[in-house]
A = this chain, B = another copy of it.
Amino acid sequence: MSTTKWVYAFGNGAADGKAEMKNLLGGKGANLAEMANLGLPVPPGFTLTTEVCTYFTKNNSSYPAELKDQVSKALANVEKIIGKKFGDAANPLLVSVRSGARASMPGMMDTVLNLGLNDETVKGLAAASGDERFAYDSYRRFIQMYGDVVLGVEHHHFEEILSEHKEDKGVTLDTQLTAEDWKVIAKAYAKKVHEELGRPFPQDPHEQLWGAIAAVFGSWMNDRATIYRRLHDIPVEWGTAVNIQSMVFGNMGDTSATGVCFTRNPSTGENSFYGEYLINAQGEDVVAGIRTPQNLTKAERQESGNDLPSMEEQMPKLYDDLCAVREKLEKHYRDMQDMEFTVQEGKLWMLQTRSGKRTAKSALRIAVEMANDGVLTREEAIKRIEPGQLDQLLHPTLDPKAPRHVLCKGLPASPGAATGKVAFSAKDAEDLAAKGEKVILVRIETSPEDIGGMHAAQGILTTRGGMTSHAAVVARGMGRPCVAGAGEIRVDYRAQTLTVKGEVVKAGEIITIDGSRGEVMKGEVKTIQPELTGDFATLMTWADEARVLKIRTNAETPEDAATAVKFGAEGIGLCRTEHMFFDPKRIIHMREMILAGNESDRRKALAKLIPYQRDDFTELFTIMKGLPVTIRLLDPPLHEFLPNTDAEMEEVASAAGAKVADVRARAASLHEANPMLGLRGCRLGIVYPEIYEMQCQAIFEAMVEAESKTGTTVLPEVMIPLVGTKKEFDILKEMVDKIAGEVGKKAGKTLKYLVGTMIELPRAALQAGEIAKGAEFFSFGTNDLTQTTFGLSRDDSGSFLQYYQDRGIFEKDPFATLDREGVGELIQIAADRGRKTRPGIKLGICGEHGGDPSSIAFCAQVGLDYVSCSPYRVPIARLAAAQAALTKGKGKELVDA
């Protein structure tokens, strides 16, 4: 019987694992192993696999039987390499215990440093390091961290002890405290833990170790991690690994340091070494943004005007060592790396490497440059860009010519511009956003607790921390503009104000931030459309060559249509005609039509609407220059056009020359218990054929007009919504053909167009073979298909959808990412049956899923002809479609330059 290997060792130029084993070892563990294999200086350690986490979660927080033994052996190996013993009073081995999931989840799970210290080993550390102050500072840090993370003794207990002690001593800074002070404080900390828990702080290093392991595995299921997973689509099943590694110290005086660096600039993508470090500090100090850090390179220091020396200048030898590591790792991984390092008494140690998070702009530059340099193929370059990230580039930026009232500058931590009302807490930001307000979240610094508020905000502004601070890293990941470390601003949470150079901005007032330049402005600043040239255009060209799926857009206004064409849309996949009726001039006639008691009066009202509809379509056809335009006939229930309040009812009554009571009665008679499942879509077209007739007349007359005006052929595709039976479709297709015939006859030509349907009901999907006898195209209306397949109203699911996601009942929001098992099977069935009846039937998707990369991949797999999405998602869809084609192995061959 073979035993499962639960523990993987690394260090001393060798490792059990490697980079490819991320699923088992987590990202951190796999890359530590890889670095060790590459011969880089990695403090020795070992990794408990993600399978242990899964076992732990499923088995009521217990471990596999073999684990204890495997950990003992791995620990012994570390002791041997380092030459120290865990728990040895004379020369103790100290370790860090850190989480490490398959995907990076910065700051989400727990970490314990300096583990192995107790009342005895602290003395050994003091002796071995020759620095008693360092030893007791480390010990008190350990008690605090372990107490908080593992034992659940709240942070503030320790803060209070420290504050009191400093007060007693009459000092304000930690650096003013002596070894003796830390000794006293460490004792007080341990006593507090005893008081709180009713049992002493654990002195046995092995007990400490297992406690920390359990805490890290347990933190996989904590609230912060759960929210982060949801926001980043990380399945709960993945689990985290635990990395146990011998400690190295960046805080052992001026020959020690700690830092974070990127092999290229993560903000611009420029191929220059980039990073920050702190002399005599622990790694957490850089990440947490507590001290403003020093630059890595001289060039960077000069550019930013930092007074503190750069590492290149201050530690030239170690800087060269780090440059060598940079070169080796980027060449090895063929991607920009984000590394953590520590220098302990003049020796460089690598603590982590991973693929670096980057802005969309830098991602494009890096991918294009690496492809041009032959490091990557074009296919690889295409696959390197996360499609959703492009969103950052597609939105307006500040107009450089617009006047700006710049309050101050901070770090350009995440690009893009944002305007919104100031909110000083994550909760306020979420509340305002829930009301539809645009918000800028302003914090002194952010912490993982602020994730929800950061997501809800349009942009983030902090007054402390650097380019690798929590706020900066998370904002870049989310695509939110961010200005970090704007130190001139003073934030007063209690007064709910920020003050800068004497100027006061209150909560709720509007500010604008420019995350690309680090500027903070009062009020709103005019924006301009982005220029989609350079690396963006290059990569999009490559993507277009690779993809098979066509990309269309959902648009009904000329503005949207023009934007989409600029973004590369190859047609309109969904023009929602009802949106055209909400204009005040038009809704009057729409309401007249609804209030009419008979067909003849309805026709009179419709006759007033027809010129508007015809002009709308003429304009759309002209903009689309011969590209196909899918027009959906009226879909929503009529009551959506009627007013709700008494005042509005009176207005409508007087405008329509009707009695208020009649308006109210008609509204009441149209009321539906479940409007989503009521008299709408093609049901309207069948019960009130005159409405669809008017729309078709407008479409075909506009077609004639646009063709004669532009000399280009117009390709209208008339789409019948909410079809559930072949007969519904056939009745309405006959009507469309009749009107087209009449308009064509008048114009003296034969009109060419398609008539098709939305597949948005389960029954339509099942009956697709029958419906395709008449239908020339299908467009999957996945919004409604998701609602009916799940029996789940999008409007009403808010009350429990979040809860469902948090509990893992839904892995993802099915309205954002297509449910492949249920809705997807119906799409597959409909596509198969539709094609069987009518080979080559045109198939597309026009629900919101049409702009979601994962859903696009599914559409490619089913072999749809196109996806249709909102204008701003067109480039994202182009890239996602290319990636889908390449992954599927169906992409066209790309010739590399």
Q: Residues of B contacting A804 with CB < 8 Å?
A: 686
The proximity string for A residues 796-836 relative to B, scoring 1 for CB distances below 8 Å and 0 otherwise, is 11011001100111100000000101110110000000000
The proximity string for A residues 534-568 relative to B, scoring 1 for CB distances below 8 Å and 0 otherwise, is 00000000000000000000000000000000000
* CB-based contact A810/B676 at 8 Å: no
A678 within 8 A of B: yes
* CB-based contact B725/A791 at 8 Å: no
- Report copies per complex: 2
* CB-based contact A678/B796 at 8 Å: yes
A687 within 8 A of B: yes
* CB-based contact A789/B788 at 8 Å: yes
* CB-based contact A793/B673 at 8 Å: yes
Q: Residues of B contacting A795 with CB < 8 Å?
A: 672-674
* CB-based contact B679/A676 at 8 Å: no
Q: What count of chain A residues pass the 8 Å CB interface test?
A: 49
CB of A228, distance to nearest CB on chain B (Å) = 21
Distance A810 CA – B803 CA, assembled complex (angstroms): 39
Closest to A728 in B: B809
A281 within 8 A of B: no
Q: Residues of B contacting A728 with CB < 8 Å?
A: 809
CB of A458, distance to nearest CB on chain B (Å) = 28
* CB-based contact B800/A677 at 8 Å: no
Given known contacts A724-B792, A784-B791, A679 and B799 CB-to-CB distance under 8 angstroms: yes
* CB-based contact B678/A676 at 8 Å: no
Distance A263 CA – B810 CA, assembled complex (angstroms): 67
* CB-based contact A766/B796 at 8 Å: no
* CB-based contact B793/A674 at 8 Å: yes
For chain A, residues 755 to 804, give those with C-beta under 8 angstroms from any C-beta of chain B.
760-763, 766-767, 770, 784, 787-793, 795-797, 799-800, 803-804
CB of A827, distance to nearest CB on chain B (Å) = 11
Distance A287 CA – B443 CA, assembled complex (angstroms): 92
CB of A29, distance to nearest CB on chain B (Å) = 29
Looking at A677, A678, A800, A807, the one whose CB has the most chain B CB atoms below 10 A away is A677
* CB-based contact A763/B784 at 8 Å: no
The A contact surface, by secondary structure, is helix
* CB-based contact B762/A674 at 8 Å: no
* CB-based contact A677/B789 at 8 Å: no
The proximity string for A residues 418-456 relative to B, scoring 1 for CB distances below 8 Å and 0 otherwise, is 000000000000000000000000000000000000000
Given known contacts A728-B809, A791-B761, A803-B687, A767 and B674 CB-to-CB distance under 8 angstroms: no
CB of A874, distance to nearest CB on chain B (Å) = 29
* CB-based contact B763/A800 at 8 Å: no
* CB-based contact B789/A761 at 8 Å: yes
Q: Residues of B contacting A792 with CB < 8 Å?
A: 677, 724
Q: Residues of B contacting A878 with CB < 8 Å?
A: none
Closest to A673 in B: B795
Looking at A675, A727, A822, the one whose CB has the most chain B CB atoms below 10 A away is A822
* CB-based contact B679/A791 at 8 Å: no
A722 within 8 A of B: yes
Distance A674 CA – B799 CA, assembled complex (angstroms): 13
A683 within 8 A of B: yes
Q: Residues of B contacting A784 with CB < 8 Å?
A: 791
A731 within 8 A of B: yes
Q: List 26 A-B contacts (CB under 8 A).
A: A672-B796, A673-B793, A673-B796, A674-B674, A674-B675, A674-B796, A676-B676, A677-B796, A678-B799, A686-B803, A686-B804, A687-B799, A687-B800, A687-B803, A724-B790, A724-B791, A724-B822, A727-B809, A761-B789, A761-B791, A762-B788, A762-B826, A763-B819, A766-B822, A767-B822, A788-B788
Knowing that A674-B677, A762-B822, A766-B826 touch, tell me 10 more A-B residue pairs with CB under 8 angstroms: A672-B796, A673-B675, A674-B674, A674-B793, A676-B791, A677-B791, A686-B800, A763-B791, A763-B819, A766-B822
Closest 5 CB pairs of A and B: A677-B793, A763-B822, A678-B796, A762-B762, A674-B793
